[in-house]
Chain A
Amino acid sequence: MSFQETPDQAQLRERYPHIFNRPMSARLATPVVLLLAVAVFIFGLVDLDFSPSRILAGLSQLGWIARLMLPPDPGSSLPIYLKALGETLSIAVLGTTLAACTAFPVSLLAARNVIPSAIFRFPVRRLFDTIRGVDTLIWALVWINVVGLGPFAGVLAIAVSDFGALGKLFSEAMESADRKQVEGVRAAGGNALHEIRFGLLPQVLPVIAGQVLYFIESNTRSATIIGIVGAGGIGLQLAEQIRVLEWQKVSFLILMILVAVAAIDWISNRLRFAIIGRRAVA
């Protein structure tokens, strides 16, 4: 057995010029980008008033708060919290349903294979984008101005902001649908409405149902926070208890949110598997 002789470096250089003689610009690109990223990061830390003493003071304060949080204890307000949690779940379910019902017809206008001309598609898409660009919390503030404080404003806020997101997803699902079924319906003499109902809908409905379920899940999270601006649900209680520094109640409320989100995750996963089958999800 003999060890292979180490090849001469000059020989290697000659054989693999693209590895040994990379142009300077390619070699410098990575370090320069990294350096720039770090520089902006440090500039941000300085500009945003980060200082070691402040972080240390904050952390010790945080440790103090964490100690006060234990053990979680709702005090005597458990019934109120349960009602608030119910409110949050209601907001999520109702808001998402409302959004799905309104987004579906509009998303037809934005799908290229339903309406080939760009007259509707372009403005509708921009509308979806604009609505998505505004956060749910901002919509909640606007609706509070319209229908007053309370969970109803939360429902409408979630409905509007999801209208944008679901509309985009629905129209994308329609565009990726197979054209053959639609052509088959047309060949059998169906009109445009028949094409949508019998050619397009059966293909996109499972996808849409999956997306709606996923949004109900993620909206449970959003619904917990819109209460912070006064739109009902458990967030309202949470924000109040944080402001009056009732840390045991705060930790109890956070635990409730965690449990509720986990439960909704589990249920909607089961439903999703039931609707579109296990393989399509993974």
Chain B
Amino acid sequence: MAVAVSILPSQQLDALNDAYRRAVSRRRLRLALSAMVFLGVLLVAAVGAEVNLTTLFTYFGNFVSYFDRIFTLDDGHRVWTNIPEWFWGFKKWIKLLGETLLISYVGTLAGMLVAFCLNFLAAENTSPAPWVRFTVRRLLEFARTVPGIVFALIFVIAFGLGPVAGVLAIALHSSGALGKLFSEVVENADMKPVEGVRATGASWLSCMRFAVLPQVIAGFSSYTLLRFEINVREASVMGFVGAGGIGQELVVAIRKFYYSDVSAILVMIVVTVFLIDIGTGWLRGRLFGAEART
């Protein structure tokens, strides 16, 4: 099959080529400039973070051999050749892991309750007054921005060492994060049912209960389940600052170079996180259909 490709006369072609080059060169210049700015930022950051490539090159072998070491038992064999020896503290660790899960469960639920009470006040369409909305929003923002573990550090001093501090820290941080998401869900709700309920002479509370809640409850539960997943990870490190859970054992094992213990605890944490992820994913699918699974 013959294909005829028509070629424009050279005069016309030159003009077009010129225009193309001009258009592209401006874009390329902008790209090069932003790349240079980005590289400059990186360079400043590298100096600021005391990046030392020689250290990295000298000790990178340590990083690889660290994993070699944590998968070796004291007697020099690989850990999986002697499972009972590897998981010698299984009973203690599984109990602490259970505590970690309990911390995240109680923390998530408590945070959810607080967020649930506050979010109707923070959402644009349901808030009773602008000043209430402003105050509640700032409060939620504060709770969300300060990392959970910073709250835990402070709570450990106020409430004493132990899981109570961890639960409260997770609850406070979750209430901030969930409060924002919840209020966004409420803002997307249809306001017609609210008008309908208000037309019957119902109070603000009844409006929320009978008009808004049925629309938003699915979104709320989905976000809460997601938050639970995140909080399981968070609770696994709460022990680093003495706020309960498996983190305490892990930090001791890492700091004191109990190599095989480190890998055993890490394996248990990773498996737990996997199971929780799969479990909540399945639950979300069951509750809200396949489209909510992602």
A residues adjacent to B (C-beta < 8 A): 37, 40-41, 43-45, 47-50, 54-55, 57-59, 61-62, 65, 86-87, 89-91, 93-94, 97, 129-130, 133-135, 137-138, 141-143, 145-148, 150-152, 154-156, 221-222, 224-225, 228-229, 232, 235, 238-239, 242, 245, 250, 254, 257-258, 261-262
Q: Which residues of A contact B274 (CB under 8 A)?
A: 129, 133
Q: Pick the contact of A44: B55, B66, B105 (CB < 8 A).
A: B105
Are A258 and B105 also in contact (CB < 8 A) when A146-B59, A152-B52 are? no
CB distance from A102 to the nearest CB of B (A): 13
B residues adjacent to A (C-beta < 8 A): 41-42, 44-52, 55-56, 59-60, 62-63, 66, 99, 102-103, 105-106, 109, 142, 145-147, 149-150, 153-155, 157-160, 162-164, 167, 233-234, 236-237, 240-241, 244, 250-251, 254-255, 257, 266, 269-270, 273-274
Most buried by B among A57, A129, A147: A147
Query: A258 to B142, Cβ gap below 8 A?
Result: yes
* Distance, CA A151 to CA B49, complexed state (A): 5
Query: A61 to B158, Cβ gap below 8 A?
Result: yes
CB distance from A211 to the nearest CB of B (A): 15
Q: Which residues of B contact A155 (CB under 8 A)?
A: 49, 51
Query: A91 to B49, Cβ gap below 8 A?
Result: yes
User: What are the 10 closest A-B residue pairs judged by CB atoms, nearest first?
Assistant: A90-B48, A58-B159, A90-B45, A44-B106, A90-B49, A133-B270, A48-B163, A61-B158, A151-B49, A133-B273
* Distance, CA A225 to CA B60, complexed state (A): 24
Query: B49 to A87, Cβ gap below 8 A?
Result: yes
Q: DSSP class of B's interface residues: helix, strand, loop or mixed?
A: helix
CB distance from A22 to the nearest CB of B (A): 17
Known: A133-B233, A138-B254. 12 other contacts (CB 8 A): A41-B109, A48-B164, A57-B159, A87-B49, A87-B50, A90-B49, A94-B42, A94-B51, A147-B52, A151-B48, A224-B150, A235-B150
* Distance, CA A146 to CA B266, complexed state (A): 18
Q: Pick the contact of B45: A54, A94, A150 (CB < 8 A).
A: A94
Query: A58 to B145, Cβ gap below 8 A?
Result: no
* Distance, CA A203 to CA B45, complexed state (A): 29
Are A147 and B147 also in contact (CB < 8 A) when A91-B49, A137-B240 are? no
CB distance from A238 to the nearest CB of B (A): 7
* Distance, CA A224 to CA B147, complexed state (A): 8
> What is the chain A residue whose CB lies nearest that of B255?
A141
Query: B45 to A93, Cβ gap below 8 A?
Result: yes
* Distance, CA A143 to CA B63, complexed state (A): 7
Query: A141 to B42, Cβ gap below 8 A?
Result: no
CB distance from A272 to the nearest CB of B (A): 14
* Distance, CA A94 to CA B45, complexed state (A): 6
Q: Which residues of B contact A43 (CB under 8 A)?
A: 102
Q: Which residues of A contact B273 (CB under 8 A)?
A: 133
CB distance from A26 to the nearest CB of B (A): 14
Please list 23 pairs of residues, one from A and one from B, whose beta carbons are closer than 8 Å in the complex, sorted by A's number: A44-B103, A50-B167, A58-B160, A59-B158, A89-B48, A90-B46, A91-B49, A94-B45, A134-B269, A135-B234, A135-B237, A138-B236, A138-B266, A143-B63, A145-B62, A146-B59, A150-B50, A224-B150, A225-B147, A225-B149, A242-B157, A254-B146, A257-B146
